Structure 1
C-alpha cells in the first residue's frame, strides 16, 4: 500500500508543472468521485450528503462534502494547502537576443534556490488564453521535451564558483532557447522589440510561439495571453537503494494538495458521511509562495465567502458565526526533515526524520498557528488511525518560514494546526521526501475528516 500510494502521487506530480495543471488534475479526481462543480456566479443549493467543488482563476480549488446530519451553524472540518511552488515564470514580454542566442526572459517566483535551476533540461507548462469562434477559452499546455537551459559559467572563468555562487537573478537566470543562426536557418525571425499595441505573439520568441500554437492546434493570432512556468523535464521518481525516497519537483506543496484531496475522497467512501454533523472541506490556494495576497490566495475572501454560502440560513442569520468555534483547520505545508550534513541547523529536541510520521510545527511568534489545544485534537485523531506524529520548532537563532495557517486562522478565527510531511531540499528544483509519508498523510486526513466532530464533542472547555 505504501508503494502504490507513492507511485500514484509521483504520477500526479509528473502531470502538474503548474498550479493550473494541479487544479485540473484534482478536478478530474473529484468528478470521478462524484463531486459536482459549482460556479461562484451561480446560486448554490447545498444539500446534505452531497459533494461539490468550486475554482477561482483555475489555480485555486475548494472542495467539500456535506455531512448527512449537517445543519447551518454546525462546524467545518478543513484541510488547507497550496498549489503553487517556487519557479521561473515567462515574462509578459520575453523575447531576447544576447550574444547570438535567442533567450526567454523569466521572472523569479517565490523563494527558490535558483542555482539549482542551472544546467537542468527545462520546458514550459501553464495556461494559454485562446480566442475561438468569438469565445475566450482557458487551455492547458505542457511541452513534453527539453527546450530551455540555463548554463553555468565554466569554472575556468570563475575560480571561486565552488566557494560562493550567487547569480544575479536578472542577468544570469535567463534560459537559452536557440541560437540566432539556427533560428534563421529554420525559417523563423529572431525576437525583436515589440511595438506599442503589438499582439501578444509578437512579444515572445517566434519559435516558442509557434511551438505553443502547434501544441494547442491554434493560429498565433488566436493567442491572447499566457501564464507559463518553467519546469524540469526529468520526471519525478521513486529512489534510494531500497526505493524509500521520492525525488521530485514541487513536493512543497503539491504533496499536501494531492493527499488532502485523496483524504477527502477516501473519507466519503464508507457510510461515515451520513452521520457527520460537519462539512468536510479542502482549500487549495495559489500564491502562498509570494504571500497569499491575491484574489485566489489564502488572504483573499474566497474561503470566507464559501463558508458563508454553505452556512446561509434565512431562519438563522448568525449561522456562520456560530460555526466558527465548532470548526478546525489543518494548515498542511511541508516540514524540514533533519539534514544529515547540516544537523546543527535543527534544534536538538526537534529533528523530524523520514518514515517517522507527519510533523506538527510550532512557533511561539505565530509563524505557525499551532496551539496546545489544536495539537491535542490531532494527536487524538492520529492515535485512533495509527499515524505517527513528530514535533518541530526552529532554533532561536534561525529564521522561520510561515504558511497559510496564521493567515487563515487570523482572518476567520478558526482554531488551526500547522503540519506537514518531512522533506529535504525544500525550494530546490528537485526536492526529496519519503514514500511512507504519502499513505500516512492520506490516512491522517481521511481520519481527520471522519473523526473530528467526535473528538471536538469530547472537549470540556
Structure 2
C-alpha cells in the first residue's frame, strides 16, 4: 500500500478547495453533484420513474441541501443489501431572518437568528459575508434560484469594549437576540441612495414595496448584482452569515487544518471521495454502495431533507425494486460525524481511557450505552476489521458518566430502518466554533477509511458470525 504521507498534499489541497467553495449546505450539495457527475453518476429525480441496473451510478437531491449517491455492484441482485455511509451538510451558523431590516444608533443592521448549537462568542469580530440561495423572477412565468457567495467582508458582529463591560473576561454573557445582530453599514450611506428607497412598483432596478420593507435596499441590490437580475425581481432567499477567512493548513510543520464547517462537511467530502475512489472494484460487488448526506442534523433532523424524514426509506425502496425488507436485513450503515479530540487545556473533560488524539490516532468509534450513538459490539467489530485491512488506526470515544452525550443521525436511521449501524468520526478541536481545527493526518486516515469501507465491507461482513 502507498504510504499515506506520500499523498498528504494532494488530498489536503483537494479538501481545502472543496470547503472554501462550500459556505452553505446548498453549495456543498452543488459541489458534490458536480463531482459525482464528472465521475459518471446520473441524477435521478423523485417525481420520475427509476431504472436501477448493475454497475449503474446514481444520485438524488432533496431541497438542494441533501444528496444521496449510489453505485450498484456489477453482481448485485435484488435483496442483496446496501453498504451505506451517512453524514450531514449543515453546520451551526447565523441565518438572515425573513425580515432582516434593522437599524440602531445610526447603523444599518441585518437581523439574524441562531441555527443550531454554535459557540456564538466565536462569531464576534470576524469579517463576515453572505452566502446561500436566492429565488428571483426571471419572467412572468419563470422563477429561478441562484447560489450566491459574496467574496468580500460586508458584515461584522462587534464585541463590547472592556472599558464598557469590565467583567467580560470573567463572565461572558451573550443575549442571542440583542448581541448577535450584524452591522451592515452606516445609516448615512442609506441616505445617499434615495432612488432605492422610493416605494414604487418593480421596474428596472427599483425594489418592490414589500421587499424593501423587509430588507435594506442596498442588501437587495447587492444580491441582485450577484444574480444578474433586478433587485425588484427578488422574491425570497435562504442566506447565512459566513466567515470570509479561507480554510488553510497551519501549524509549525503544516500539520493542522484550520477551517469552519469541519463538522460535518469533512465527513461529507470524505464519504463521497471514498465512494468514487472505490469504483474500480464495483464490478465484483454484490451490494449497492451509497453515501447519504443529510441537512438539518444540527437542529434535530426533523425536516423533509433530514435523517428523520421518509426520504431515506422512499429512496432505498425504489433502489431495491420491492425487495426493501430483505435488503435492509442485509445492509450496514456507517454514521460519520466529527469527534471530540482531547483538548490540551481541558483534558479533564474526557474519560481518562477515551481521549481521541489528533496525532496518528485514526478514526474514532463512538459508543454510548444510552443509544446516543448507534454502535454495538457487532457493528464496531465490522468497522475495526475494515480499518485493520485498510491500515487505518482506530480510537475509542465514550463520554464521561457525569456529562451529557451528543448524538448523530446514526440512532435515527438505525431505529427507523432497523439497519445495522455504527457511529464513527474524525477527531477535531473547537467543534461548533466558527473556526475549527483538525490535523492533516486525520484527513488522510478518514479518506482511506471510507474507501476501505466500500471496497472491503462485503468480505468482512460475510466473515463475521451474526
Answer yes or no: same fold by TM over 0.5: yes
SS of the equivalent of 2:168 reads helix
1:171 and 2:178 aligned: yes
Aligned to 1:413: 418
Q: 2:29 aligns with which of 6, 14, 23?
A: 23
Pairing 1:310-459 to 2, within 5 Å after superposition: 310-313=319-322, 319-354=323-358, 355-459=360-464
Q: Distance in 2 between matches of 1:190 and 1:365?
A: 56
SS of the equivalent of 2:315 reads helix
Shift of 1:8: 1.1
SS of the equivalent of 2:277 reads helix
Q: Distance in 1 between matches of 2:212 and 2:296?
A: 26
SS of the equivalent of 1:120 reads coil
Q: 2:160 aligns with which of 150, 153, 156?
A: 153
Q: Is the 8 A contact 1:87 1:110 kept in 2?
A: yes
Q: Is the 8 A contact 2:81 2:288 kept in 1?
A: yes
RMSD over aligned CA atoms reads 1.4
Tell me the alpha carbon deviations over residues 124-143 of structure 1, each in whole angstroms, 9 at most, x when there is no partner. Answer: 10000122132222210000
Shift of 1:279: 0.3
Tell me the alpha carbon deviations over residues 159-202 of structure 1, each in whole angstroms, 9 at most, x when there is no partner. Answer: 0000111210001110000011122235576799xxxx953354
Matched residue pairs, number? 450
Pairing 1:47-446 to 2, within 5 Å after superposition: 47-133=53-139, 134-187=141-194, 199-268=210-279, 270=280, 272-313=281-322, 319-354=323-358, 355-446=360-451
Q: Distance in 1 between matches of 2:273 and 2:246?
A: 22
SS of the equivalent of 1:349 reads coil
Shift of 1:281: 0.4
Q: Distance in 2 between matches of 1:224 and 1:380?
A: 52
TM-score (norm 2): 0.95
1:33 and 2:39 aligned: yes
Q: Distance in 2 between matches of 1:221 and 1:77?
A: 48
Q: Distance in 1 between matches of 2:213 and 2:69?
A: 39
Shift of 1:439: 2.0
SS of the equivalent of 2:175 reads coil
Q: Against the structure 1 CA distance between its residues 392 and 208, is the aligned structure 2 distance closer, same or farther, given a 3 Å change threshold?
A: same
SS of the equivalent of 1:157 reads coil
- Single out whichever of 286-295 and 4-13 deviates more from structure 2: 4-13
Q: Distance in 1 between matches of 2:390 and 2:362?
A: 12
Shift of 1:91: 0.2
Runs of 4+, deviation exceeding 4 Å: 186-192
Q: Distance in 1 between matches of 2:435 and 2:212?
A: 31
Q: Distance in 1 between matches of 2:195 and 2:179?
A: 25
Q: Distance in 1 between matches of 2:228 and 2:63?
A: 23
Shift of 1:453: 1.2
Q: Is the 8 A contact 1:191 1:204 kept in 2?
A: no
Q: Is the 8 A contact 2:136 2:143 kept in 1?
A: yes
- Single out whichever of 74-83 and 1-10 deviates more from structure 2: 1-10
Q: Is the 8 A contact 1:385 1:444 kept in 2?
A: yes
Tell me the alpha carbon deviations over residues 211-268 of structure 1, each in whole angstroms, 9 at most, x when there is no partner. Answer: 0101111002221110001100010010001000000000000000100010001011
Shift of 1:203: 1.1
Q: Is the 8 A contact 1:72 1:310 kept in 2?
A: no
Shift of 1:3: 2.2
Q: Flag structure 1 segments of 5+ consecutive residues without an equivalent.
A: 314-318
Q: Is the 8 A contact 1:130 1:222 kept in 2?
A: yes
Q: Against the structure 1 CA distance between its residues 190 and 236, is the aligned structure 2 distance closer, same or farther, given a 3 Å change threshold?
A: farther
Q: Distance in 1 between matches of 2:414 and 2:342?
A: 28
Q: Distance in 1 between matches of 2:196 and 2:368?
A: 55
TM-score (norm 1): 0.96
Q: Distance in 2 between matches of 1:187 and 1:266?
A: 56
Q: Flag structure 2 segments of 5+ consecutive residues without an equivalent.
A: 1-6, 200-207
Shift of 1:158: 0.3
